[in-house]
Amino acid sequence: MIPLKSEKDLVMLRESGRILAKVLRQLCEYVRPGISTAQIDNLAEQLISETKGKAAFKGYKGFPASVCTSVNEEIVHGIPGPRVLLEGDILSLDLGINYQGYFSDAAVTVPVGRVDFRSSKLIEVTRKSLSEGIRRAKADNHLSDISHAIQGYVEARGFSVVRQFVGHGIGVSLHEEPEIPNFGAPHKGVVLKNGMVLAIEPMVNAGGWESKISDNSWTALTKDGLRSAHFEHTVAIIPGGPEILTA
Ligand code: MG
């Protein structure tokens, strides 16, 4: 069963998403060569403490930080720490906010200083693949229309989509039904309805789609060591089409 949100729920989720977007934007502006990923997490803690929201990831299944910081070949679930960002790195920031029991989730990949052409292309294609997916998030489409649009956009540009991790429903918990793969045939799965809220999140690899889990048992890495990018928005399906709650 995929829970449908009421108008009152959507009011709360919009506020959750608004808080998230503001914090994430400030984190992106802070990213530069020479800072550590722990410093980014510290700033996230401070910024979130100035809002009415809470960090949704901290403590989730034991995750130790407020924001996921995934560098270069790290796909998702990077743990902030002493690693210092270098000019030319790419950094994925993934943040979840719990506002009075209403959850939002978003991610963005940013260049650290100047990056090579292929890295900036990877970032751009991943960002646009999210837009392609979101466009399909409307009532009467099938869930896999989102998946198929993302995969098609990415693979036509010579990159690959991660299989091991998927998007998800969201709302009164961080992860709800359904799972939203970033690959698959169109016109399959559940029919989308107004009131569904989805966290759509393409993870795109510069090389092959295969991934593995690092020794810290959290962080997903590309198997071939090439770079990966990640963009995510929390999207409500409402009459008239998708509404991005974390824009
Ligand atoms: Mg997510």
Q: Which structure tokens are listed for 32?
A: 């530069």
Q: Give 34's pLDDT tier (boundaries 50, 70, 90).
A: very high
Question: What distance in angstroms lies between residue 174's CA and the mean position of ligand 1's atoms?
Answer: 8
What's the pLDDT tens digit per position in 81-100?
999 999 999 999 999 999 99
Helices (H) and strands (E) in the chain, counts: 4, 15
> How far does residue 166's CA lie from ligand 1's centre (Å)?
8
How far does residue 45's CA lie from ligand 1's centre (Å)? 19
- Whether the predicted pLDDT of 1 surpasses 90: no
Q: Is the pLDDT of residue 205 over 90?
A: yes
- Burial class of residue 223 in the structure, from the number of CB atoms within 10 Å of its CB (0-12 exposed, 13-18 middle, 19+ buried): middle
| Residue ranges of domains in the chain | 7-244
> Ligand 1 centre from 228 Cα, in Å?
16
Task: Please give the CATH superfamily to which domain 7-244 belongs.
Answer: Creatinase/methionine aminopeptidase superfamily (3.90.230.10)
The alpha carbon of 201 and the centre of ligand 1 are apart by a number of angstroms equal to: 6
What's the pTM value of the predicted model, to 2 decimals? 0.98
CA of 110 to the centre of ligand 1 (A): 17
Residues 100-142: tens digit of each pLDDT: 999 999 999 999 999 999 999 999 999 999 999 999 999 999 9
Distance 105 CA to ligand 1 centre (A): 5
pLDDT attached to residue 139: 98
Q: Is the pLDDT of residue 150 over 90?
A: yes
Question: How far does the centroid of ligand 1 lie from the alpha carbon of residue 92, in Å?
Answer: 13
Terminal C-alpha separation, the chain: 27
